[in-house]
Chain A
């Protein structure tokens, strides 16, 4: 069954990263606080996972100012969306394969 795991993306092994990508698939962009509120995680935790996703170019960061307050927005890249879709497909395939074996 190892061949099925080929499409399993290491970047999505973590719940927080999976959550960030899920939210960014259906929203053009989201800011840090909104993501924090959606996923119910701490600042530090979220920041480190966002860094990880940024490093593999699955998300991009835009910094801007709202009034005087800095506002950081995140959005998924084409590569990120493609990787997430592949990950979903392999999740489904795996589930189907397991059902057959039961």
Chain B
């Protein structure tokens, strides 16, 4: 055996370890799109709240929830579509064991957070809605980062940090929410796109 063979062996070992334990087809582009949707959604929420302040009405909460639901659906659909496309280009199966493990570990804190946030809405604790969304989302990312690209871990820490700030400082909820779900997604998506997909 020659030196190049040993090097090839080591490269091969590393690649198999990566491929068998982490889901690496996550698309950076879908992060960027999720960020854009979040920013548009936040702007719409801002308009809804402004409108509520000038003409108080009963439906404000329903409008806000509808706005949030549309953003969520658009982000998930786009993410699924783009990740699917990237996995196919890499010749990987989208729903292999690594993807399932990633999804389950992401969903545990996320679903708990979603239910918790809905409870807050119905009990009227709207002031800590945005912070709890940020915190639970951040925890979900930290938890899921063991099963995908490790960059996700730092995005998670950043979301948790923003959530804690939003909880402590009143009045900046929507701004910090836009920062966390909008700007951070765009920055991270761009970073991931350039480091892993180019």
Residue ranges of A at the interface with B (Cβ–Cβ < 8 Å): 15, 18-19, 22-23, 25-27, 30, 34, 37-39, 88, 91-92, 94-95, 98
Contacts and interface: CB of A to CB of B under 8 A. Distances in A.
Closest 8 CB pairs of A and B: A22-B16, A23-B20, A26-B21, A22-B13, A26-B17, A98-B3, A23-B16, A19-B16
Nearest to A91: B6
A95 B7 contact: yes
Contacts of A23: 16-17, 20
| A contact patch SS | helix
A37 B17 CA distance: 14
Contacts of B3: 95, 98
| B contact patch SS | helix
Pick from B12, B16, B17, B93 the residue with the most CB of A within 10 Å: B16
A27 B20 contact: yes
Contacts of B16: 19, 22-23, 38-39
B10 interface: yes
Contacts, number: 44
B58 interface: no
Contacts of B17: 22-23, 25-26
Interface of B: 3, 6-7, 9-10, 12-13, 16-17, 19-21, 93, 96-97
A88 B13 contact: yes
Contacts of B97: 34
A36 B96 CA distance: 13
Contact of B12 (A18, A88, A98): A18
Nearest to B13: A22
Contacts of A27: 20-21
B12 A91 contact: no
Given A22-B17, A88-B10, 11 more contacts: A18-B9, A18-B12, A18-B13, A23-B16, A23-B17, A26-B17, A34-B20, A38-B20, A94-B6, A95-B7, A98-B3
B12 A19 contact: yes
Nearest to B15: A22
17 contacts: A18-B13, A19-B12, A19-B13, A19-B16, A22-B12, A22-B13, A22-B20, A23-B16, A26-B21, A27-B21, A34-B20, A34-B97, A37-B93, A88-B10, A94-B6, A95-B3, A95-B7
A22 B7 CA distance: 15
Contact of A38 (B7, B9, B13, B19): B19
Nearest to B14: A22
